[in-house]
Amino acid sequence: MSFKIGVDGGGTKTECILVNAEGTVVAVHVGTGCNPSVVGPEQARSIVTAALNSLRAQANAHTAGLTRTPFGPAPEISETLLCMAGSRGFWGEFAEKLNGFGKITALDDSLPVLELATNGKAGLVLHAGTGSFVAARGSDNSVHYAGGLGWRFGDPGSGYDIGQRAVARGLVELQGWAPPSRLGALLREHTGLATAQEITRSFYADPASNQKIAELTPALLRLASEGDQNAQQIIFQSVAGLVDLAGRVAEKLFPSSRPDTVRAGLSGPILTHPLVMQAIATRSSLAFAPVEGKPIEGVRRLLDNKR
């Protein structure tokens, strides 16, 4: 019996599927984030290797359950598709060293959401999670990637970028140099600390501070929904950078098309938040629509296309 494995490896979680020869998902594995830029290369390898081994074990169990005998044919993993956040070179090297998982292809994590947004046709998608990127497919079927530079260099519209803007504003408030707002209180609640000095020291000492900063974003979206103007300003200014980047991508790839005729998707809970979508609509001529389905469904479709 033959199976395929698909992996969506991001900064927040690693989601994997085991697919049978008919294209049906028969097992799922979800682990912690595996972006090597966030967790480090050794931890990234360990997380994905454990996930792959888990699915291979589930393939064995599934086959045994179907044959109802321990002496049935051993399952074969014919293909593994890795759609990963982080360094392309890192995951390409990782793929080359894998054994026992069939033909292995390593792609950017942008491809599944692009597949969901455009259904394999020309267009583009904006995605924002812990990080952010713009992915596009040209009229000639060429695939392009913009942004996604990681938290060190700024991913506009991402959870980290929004969070760090809020931290910066909140720290100035706690220092007494900006009018008090709900941001300062939110920062104290999030860290459990009282002063700007304590909070600053905590973030600089925490090796996972980028993730902790990104985790502020859901609370900021809640404040924005409640009408907090500081939260709205922070979120909208951050997202504007990603929207403007998408506009430049569209102009270059589709120069002869009206912006509102280009397929354009928004992916992730930040960009599909109602307030954020309204702000995007006022800033861009592209006719954005929320992407339906999780990235792992895009991975499944990509695997299905290979049949």
Amino acid 306: pLDDT: 67
161-170: pLDDT as tens digits: 999 999 999 9
CATH number of 119-291: 3.30.420.40
CATH number of 2-108: 3.30.420.40
Quick check: 253 and 264 in contact, CB under 8 A?
A: no
Find how far residue 241's CA is from the centre of its chain. 17
Amino acid 149: pLDDT: 86
Contacts of 198 (CB under 8 A, 6+ apart): 191
Amino acid 68: pLDDT: 46
Amino acid 93: pLDDT: 96
Domain boundaries, the chain: 2-108, 119-291
Low pLDDT (below 50) residues in the chain? 68
Amino acid 151: pLDDT: 80
Q: Do 2-108 and 119-291 share a fold?
A: yes
Predicted TM-score of the model (pTM): 0.84
206-255: pLDDT as tens digits: 988 988 999 999 999 999 999 999 999 999 999 999 999 999 999 999 99
Cα-Cα-Cα-Cα dihedral sign, residues 80, 86, 92, 96? negative
Amino acid 256: pLDDT: 95
Amino acid 208: pLDDT: 81
